[in-house]
Amino acid sequence: MALEYLPTEIITQIFLSLPDIRSAAALSATSHRFHSVFHSPQNLVILSSTAEAEFGPLDEIIQLVTHNASQPAHIRRKVPLSTALIKQVVQVGRVAQRWEETYPFKKWKSDFASRRLLTTDERYRVRRAVYRLWLFSRAFHNASNIRTCRSIPSVVSTRAALLHNFSLRELAEMYDVHQIMREVMRTNICPSNGRMRVKYQSRYPDQPHGLMFNIHLNYPPAPSSFIPESWFHNSPTANLNSRHHQPSRWLDPGAEGWGDDITHYYVVEDMLKLDPEQILHLRDHCPLKAQVEAYVKEVAGEWFINNGETFNETLAHVVRQRGGEMEELGAAVEEGEMGVAGAE
């Protein structure tokens, strides 16, 4: 029997059982009948069901994309689904999926033996944490949150109100994913001077001298120095290189470190105000420090500098209010008792 002759309800059921939007679109292209069911009034039902399976929890995405300054972030919003909303859902959902992929690499970075793919439930928890962290960032890491107001009690309690909506387990998952983002920021986007030094040494083991930072900007070393002349941006050979190669940290590695311990710590704190999509953008498209700086200048302003992210301290505040200890929660996530991949 041709599938064409199935009743509409059955065809709708087939659509509803598909795992993602791409399959639904593909199926709708197979025949007129499927096409017309897909583009019938059932369309939004089908789309929301497949989007839930692929990117869910949809409700959390909706909280994120419908947030605006007219309402506190912790008030749950109910909005009717529309095609425009589904479009935003897909965009946000795809970002969360990339964090699903990143998670195992950072979580079990040195612990190779434990590294594995995430289960369906764990993926769901990564996405949920990403949407919630993203909302936190959108609502509280903005130009009206300048450095001096971060600890004002009323400001703290507004931030805390959002986190109070979540159970301790869910907060631990957010903390877990936040640590993954911190790792990406700390090591991939804004590597410390020390990290650049170590990487340089493993890449160029024959160079007898260590790497110097920024010094040559003021005092170009003699030609016999360990850094080839071609590494200077203003040298003719460097320009030639950059025309033929992707920009690389190794053209001028001394200029690529983001400072030593304390300076580096505060840089990372500042940078973690960026949202999950911006962090991935920097990781994937801005290999050079100058590019990262230019991007931040473009998306943020004065308020951004010297003004660390506030999720971690708000979480500590909320955990204390519930009679717990942040250190314990941190340790439970570290030891795999809580968090995305933590025991149920």
Ligand X SMILES: *[C@@H]1O[C@H](CO)[C@@H](O)[C@H](O)[C@H]1NC(C)=O
* 154 part of the interface to ligand X, by CB under 6 A: no
Residue in the block written with tokens 């986007």? 189
Tell whether the torsion through CA atoms of 62, 63, 69 and 71 is positive or negative. positive
How far apart are CB 230 and ligand X at their closest, in Å?
38
Contact between 154 and 317 (Cβ < 8 Å): no
C-alpha 339: how far from its chain's center?
Answer: 16
* 116 part of the interface to ligand X, by CB under 6 A: no
* 322 part of the interface to ligand X, by CB under 6 A: no
- Mark 293-312 with x for binding to ligand X (rule: CB under 6 A) and - for no binding: -------------------x
Please provide the DSSP assignment of 290-342 as one string.
Answer: HHHHHHHHHH--GGGTT---SHHHHHHHHHHHTT--HHHHHHHHHTTSSSTTS
How far apart are CB 148 and ligand X at their closest, in Å?
13
* 167 part of the interface to ligand X, by CB under 6 A: no
Q: Helix %, strand %, coil % for the chain, to 5?
A: 65, 0, 35
With left for phi above 0 and alpha for psi between -120 and 50, is residue 259 left, alpha or beta?
A: left
With left for phi above 0 and alpha for psi between -120 and 50, is residue 306 left, alpha or beta?
A: left
Stretch that binds ligand X, among 1-9, 65-73, 95-103, 220-228 (CB under 6 A): 65-73
* 77 part of the interface to ligand X, by CB under 6 A: yes
Stretch that binds ligand X, among 106-114, 159-167, 196-204, 293-301 (CB under 6 A): 159-167
* 157 part of the interface to ligand X, by CB under 6 A: no
Tell which one of 145, 192, 278, 310 touches ligand X (CB under 6 A). 145
Tell which one of 144, 148, 218, 234 touches ligand X (CB under 6 A). 144
Beta-strand (E) ranges in 100-179? none
* 160 part of the interface to ligand X, by CB under 6 A: no
Distance CA 70, CA 9 (A): 41
* 69 part of the interface to ligand X, by CB under 6 A: yes
* 16 part of the interface to ligand X, by CB under 6 A: no
Tell which one of 106, 303, 326, 336 touches ligand X (CB under 6 A). 326
Q: Residues in the site for ligand X, rule: CB under 6 A?
A: 66, 68-71, 74-77, 138-140, 142, 144-145, 158, 161, 164-165, 312-313, 316, 326
